Amino acid sequence: MKTIVIGGGPAGIISALHASKSGDEVILLEKMNSLGKKLLITGKGRCNITSSFPMQDFISNVPGNGNFLYSAFNQFTNKDIINLLEKEGVKVKEERGHRIFPVSDKSKDVLDALLNEVKKAKVKIQTNTKVERILVENGKAIGVEYNQKDRMYADKIILATGGKSYPVTGSTGDGYKMAKELRT
Ligand SMILES: Cc1cc2nc3c(=O)[nH]c(=O)nc-3n(C[C@H](O)[C@H](O)[C@H](O)COP(=O)(O)OP(=O)(O)OC[C@H]3O[C@@H](n4cnc5c(N)ncnc54)[C@H](O)[C@@H]3O)c2cc1C
């Protein structure tokens, strides 16, 4: 199976890792010239990685009905991300309010660890690739259109383009439009 992941932030990187571990050939498309630009500015450059609260508390702190996250939060927990980072040599510490940070206080160490994992998983990375549209045939996503003219096809598409804040990090809300188009 071939999987295309759209967006190289933490969500796209972790999705790519999991798709690759499940045996897929994975290509990650990122519109900026490098991955994880937003991750680098998190926690004022220190990256508040996660919290040590039980996962049930994560769900109850989601505004509205957080229960839809139950399955995802149980399949990849705060302990899983800590283990993944520690495997790559990133030690973590707990601060006031149950917040978990890298001991180095450098978000770059977190990003480098994720990129190293992606490299080991043999995920292909294509930067400077702005996806504009998800191609659909007979009600199924079959590929993407990018950089205004090119097309790429796959069995599965993962949309991980993040939200809409700090445009210089690539966060411009493109995914909202693409997701909305899938409903029409
Ligand atoms: C100032 C600030 C501080 C923060 N601090 C923390 C913190 O300490 N801890 C924490 O947990 N969270 C923090 N956050 C929130 C955190 O940054 C986001 O929750 C996280 O980055 C979301 O990850 P993501 O992968 O979903 O999206 P993003 O990190 O936004 O990644 C999306 C990626 O998709 C790419 N992309 C977008 N459109 C396209 C397209 N059309 N084609 C191809 N690629 C595309 C983007 O360039 C980007 O690389 C902070 C946010 C901000 C703004």
**Atom 15 in ligand 1: residue holding the nearest Cα:** 42
Cβ of 32: how many Cβ atoms within 10 Å? 19
- Indicate if ligand 1 lies below 6 Å from the C-beta of 12: yes
Average pLDDT taken over every residue of the chain: 96
- Indicate if ligand 1 lies below 6 Å from the C-beta of 11: yes
Sign (positive or negative) of CA dihedral 119, 34, 161, 65: positive
φ, ψ dihedrals at 165, nearest 5°: -160, 150
Structural domains for the chain: 1-41+110-165 (3.50.50.60), 48-105 (no CATH)
pLDDT band of residue 26 (cuts 50, 70, 90) is: very high
- Indicate if ligand 1 lies below 6 Å from the C-beta of 130: yes
The predicted structure's pLDDT at residue 183: 85
Distance 13 CA to ligand 1 centre (A): 11
